[in-house]
Amino acid sequence: MEGQTVAIIGPQDAVTSHVVSHVANELQVPLLSFSATDPTLSSLQFPYFVRTTQSDQYQMAAIAEIVDHYGWREVIAIYVDDDHGRNGIAALGDTLAAKRCRISFKAPLSVEATEDEITDLLVKVALTESRIIVVHTHYNRGPVVFHVAQYLGMLGTGYVWIATSWLSTALDTNSPFPSDVMDDIQGVLTLRTYTPDSVLKRKFISRWRNLTDAKTPNGYIGLNAYGFYAYDTVWLLARAINSFFKQGGNLSFSKDSRLSDIQGHLRLDSLRIFNGGNLLRDSILQANMTGTAGPARFNSHGDLINPAYEIINVIGTGYRRIGYWSNYSGLSVVRPETLYSKPPNRSSSNQRLYSVIWPGQTTQKPRGWVFPNNGRHLRIGVPNRVSFREFVSVKGSEMTSGFCIDVFTAAINLLPYAVPYKLIPFGDGHNNPSCTELVRLITAGVYDAAVGDIAIITNRTKMADFTQPYIESGLVVVAPVRKLDSNAWAFLSPFTPMMWGVTAIFFLAVGAVVWILEHRLNDEFRGPPKRQVVTIFWFSFSTMFFAHKEKTVSALGRLVLIIWLFVVLIINSSYTASLTSILTVQKLSSPIKGIDSLRSSNYPIGYQVNSFARNYLVDELNIDESRLVPLNSPEEYAKALKDGPHKGGVAAVVDDRAYAELFLSTRCEFSIVGQVFTKNGWGFAFPRDSPLAVDISTAILKLSENGDLQRIHDKWLLRSACSSQGAKLDVDRLQLKSFSGLYLLCGLACLLALFIYLMQIVHQFSRHYPGDTESNGGSSRSARLQTFLSFVNEKEDEVKSRSKRRHVERTSYRSEDEMSSCNSNRKHIELSSNLSLDSDTRNCNGSS
């Protein structure tokens, strides 16, 4: 650096790169590294550092996607405790967090760790829960880690080992490995920086092989990805210097005034600043070439474009590629350069890898975790209830039973592995404990899980993960009910008053319409006015029983009657069914109809002590807290409900449906009123991202499918129902809206029939009584209206016969007129002829 240095290639490790980068920044000398993958060597902190290989940021992203692809959630990181190891694992933690995964245990190794130190560290790793282990070390320590792990039995079935690119670099450089080393890494996954195949790459490999075969005693030295990047870095710098000179750059240096006064054996005062450093750095970053490792171009962050890795599975004496990872499309079995020409697709269905042979020579995907082998049992908190002990009952410090406990035990027994656990009571034994507080203690580390009658509600799901619900539940209103006895007017109960009124109106309206349509045609609908009124009423209400004796003869009348009889059939059937139910099913009544009527009243409301019902009523329904009365047992429920709001009791109790049903199984004087107004269920709580929660959920589904869950329910919660269990709360009257469609159809049919009938009458009247267009007086209109009403009241047969007579009379009159006209014409002709003859005779006599 004392000489006229314009660029630096190297160093090869991250630690030295950090130190030299500070010097390069001060002297404005570009520093190109083909092997320092530390992601913290960024262009922001070190603007003159140029990484000509891929950053570990992308390698860690690839590992995170592999972990997420196989459904694992926690990993253990073994790394060398230097800048390279720490910063790489920090990047892994960030990328795992983006996938909702995490590093559960970090195991740092010193740079010169001995085998004993590695052994002690791996013993700690073996005692942890996760079995997904990422090894991010240097080549000199990595094989020792795997050798010790093999000795400790940590490369057997159930483990997953993922090594970063140091292992693939060693395999490419020193292959084949000795057999004992290969035995230590069987089933391991490793990543290798992807370099696409090309003619230039193949020629370089051939030249390299010829060079190393002749110059080294051990024969061919393998080429790894860093070798390609080193070769391309030299060419990249050469092209950049050429571009530097073309842009007018020159080699000039200046002193740094800050260093001139520093004396010492480092001779810092002799260092010079490269004046063309900025231009040369820009020329490097603007390079556009294709080398042996592929395209050499930089993005806006100073990283090489198109980062990609091969995913390798070590098997036998070699390895096999199981897929690729690229920053463009994620995991794939297709080469990355093929995907660059297509739109990026990171959907889960598009993420694929070939099958893997895992440690232990198995192809079955490892579960990824076990219970810690440290002799500690899972601490499971159980609510120590003082009421409704059918769900959870704690007897002493060891004996625990109940519906919830049996469900949990049955689910644990279905797991394919053993779960050591201990049930620990939570609560003072005098009051029911708060399940929300029990769940919070999981996040505090006091318990590893919580089992019991724990409702899955919003604020609890923010603190822990829950299993699949094993019983449906929700808040309900329990209130006192009384029996309703039948009375003399019970037959009116099936219909509401509105329904009765509309039905009666339609009976009369249909009778009137049929009378109008039949009046001119049917003798049964004619007669004196009194008789016709009686006919309308009789016909209307006799259709209710299909007992009408009058026959309809008009087509429109029959249409209306058919539709009306269909409506009557439906009404009769509904009435009969409803009345039967009213008279045969026991009926109950309560002043409280549900949660809405309870909210609108000012009555006190009971709730179970430490139940989430209290917070729901206050926070969600805005019920004043002064109205709420805490109750601790079914006996207190019954007493408060019997006393009622006027004697120091409550109007109703709001509680979870499961408790309410158990309470009502032996108390028939109370009932659930209204509908369930919250929907939730009960589940078991576990820490966030606990894999055991997923397995327990699967086991609960199996219990539900094979019927064991129902059998456990019947064992603890099935009670002999009291006589009122089949009772009906209040009377379900038939509403008008249930029949509005039928009435609308019938009404439209009547209106349509009347309209057609009116058009026919007007047409007939205009034919039989043509109007006088010259008469416009009021008396003429009144006379014509009276004539029209008389015409409507006449029987159609009479009108037709009178019309016929008129037609005959008109015809005879017309014939007589025509005959008299002909006779007069004939006489006129004869008279004219005689007059003509007399004139001719006189003319003849005169001439003679």
User: Mind spelling out the 3-state secondary structure of 207-221?
Assistant: HHHHHHHHHCCCCCC
Tell me whether residue 80 is exposed, middle or buried, using C-beta atoms within 10 angstroms of its C-beta: 0 to 12, 13 to 18, 19 or more.
buried
Amino acid at 193: T
Average per-residue pLDDT in the chain?
85
Q: What token pair was written down for 312?
A: 């390798």
Distance CA 283, CA 6 (A): 13
Nearest to 10 by CA among 186, 233, 259, 216: 233
pLDDT in tens, 184-196: 999 999 999 999 9
pLDDT for the residue 349 = 84
pLDDT for the residue 597 = 87
Are the CB atoms for 631 and 663 separated by under 8 Å? no
18-22, 134-138, 774-778: range with lowest mean pLDDT: 774-778
Residue carrying the six token digits 């456990």: 712
Q: Please, which pLDDT band fits residue 726 given cuts at 50, 70 and 90?
A: very low
- pLDDT surpassing 60 at residue 831: no
Is the four-CA dihedral 696, 702, 704, 706 of positive or negative sign?
Answer: negative
User: For 690, phi and psi rounded to 5 degrees?
Assistant: -75, 125
- pLDDT surpassing 50 at residue 679: yes
Q: Indicate the pairing of strand 605-608 with strand 652-656.
A: parallel
Are the CB atoms for 764 and 797 separated by under 8 Å? no
Show the CA angle centred on residue 569, arms to residues 567 and 571, nearest 5°.
Answer: 70
Are the CB atoms for 716 and 481 separated by under 8 Å? no
User: For 394, phi and psi rounded to 5 degrees?
Assistant: -110, 125
Distance CA 354, CA 132 (A): 19
Q: Indicate the pairing of strand 378-383 with strand 421-426.
A: parallel
Q: What token pair was written down for 223?
A: 């080429």
- 429 Cβ contact partners less than 8 Å away, ≥ 6 residues apart: 384, 386, 394
Distance CA 325, CA 162 (A): 14
Residue 689 Rama label (left phi>0; alpha psi -120 to 50; beta): left
- pLDDT surpassing 70 at residue 759: yes
Topology of the domain covering 8-51+229-296 = Rossmann fold (3.40.50)
Q: What token pair was written down for 228?
A: 């390609």
pLDDT in tens, 114-135: 999 999 999 999 998 899 999 9
For residue 254, the cross-strand partners are 273
pLDDT for the residue 774 = 44
**pLDDT: which is higher, 446 or 666:** 446
* pTM tops 0.85: no
**Three-state secondary structure call for residue 179:** helix
Is the four-CA dihedral 830, 835, 840, 841 of positive or negative sign?
Answer: positive
**pLDDT: which is higher, 558 or 452:** 452
For residue 671, the cross-strand partners are 479
Are the CB atoms for 30 and 7 separated by under 8 Å? yes
Q: What token pair was written down for 24?
A: 């390069």
- pLDDT surpassing 60 at residue 621: yes
User: For 325, phi and psi rounded to 5 degrees?
Assistant: -130, 135
pLDDT for the residue 691 = 85
Mean pLDDT of 646-670: 90
pLDDT for the residue 835 = 42
Q: What token pair was written down for 8?
A: 């630096």
Are the CB atoms for 29 and 5 separated by under 8 Å? yes
Most confident of 172-181, 256-265, 314-323, 540-549: 314-323
pLDDT for the residue 593 = 83
Q: Please, which pLDDT band fits residue 634 given cuts at 50, 70 and 90?
A: very high
pLDDT in tens, 229-242: 999 999 999 999 99
Q: According to CATH, what is the number of the domain 56-193+311-333? A: 3.40.50.2300
- pLDDT surpassing 70 at residue 731: no
- pLDDT surpassing 70 at residue 517: yes
- pLDDT surpassing 70 at residue 823: no
- pLDDT surpassing 50 at residue 259: yes
pLDDT for the residue 588 = 57
pLDDT for the residue 535 = 74
DSSP string, 610-678: T-HHHHIIIIIS---GGGEEEE-SHHHHHHHHHH-GGGTS-SEEEEEHHHHHHHHTS-TTEEEES---S
Rg, C-alpha atoms of the chain: 50
pLDDT for the residue 476 = 93
Are the CB atoms for 132 and 106 separated by under 8 Å? no
708-717 vs 657-664: helix axis angle to the nearest 10?
Answer: 50
- The count of C-alpha atoms lying within 13 angstroms of the C-alpha of 773, restricted to the half-sphere facing its C-beta, is 1
Give the number of other CB atoms < 10 A from CB of residue 469.
17
Are the CB atoms for 192 and 226 separated by under 8 Å? no
Q: Please, which pLDDT band fits residue 217 given cuts at 50, 70 and 90?
A: low
- pLDDT surpassing 80 at residue 267: no
Amino acid at 205: I
Rounded-to-5 percentages of helix, strand, coil across the chain: 50, 15, 35
518-532, 563-577, 739-753: range with lowest mean pLDDT: 518-532
216-220, 293-297, 633-637, 760-764: range with lowest mean pLDDT: 216-220
- 19 Cβ contact partners less than 8 Å away, ≥ 6 residues apart: none
- pLDDT surpassing 60 at residue 72: yes
Say how many residues make up the chain: 848
Which stretches within 221-333 are classed as H helix?
A: 225-246, 257-260, 277-285
Amino acid at 358: W
pLDDT for the residue 836 = 47
**Three-state secondary structure call for residue 182:** helix
- pLDDT surpassing 50 at residue 172: yes
Show the CA angle centred on residue 430, arms to residues 429 and 432, nearest 5°.
Answer: 80
Edge-to-edge strand list for the sheet holding 49-51: 8-9, 31-33, 49-51
Are the CB atoms for 27 and 274 separated by under 8 Å? yes
pLDDT for the residue 520 = 72
- pLDDT surpassing 60 at residue 605: yes
Distance CA 339, CA 346 (A): 11
105-119, 258-272, 402-416, 423-437: range with lowest mean pLDDT: 258-272
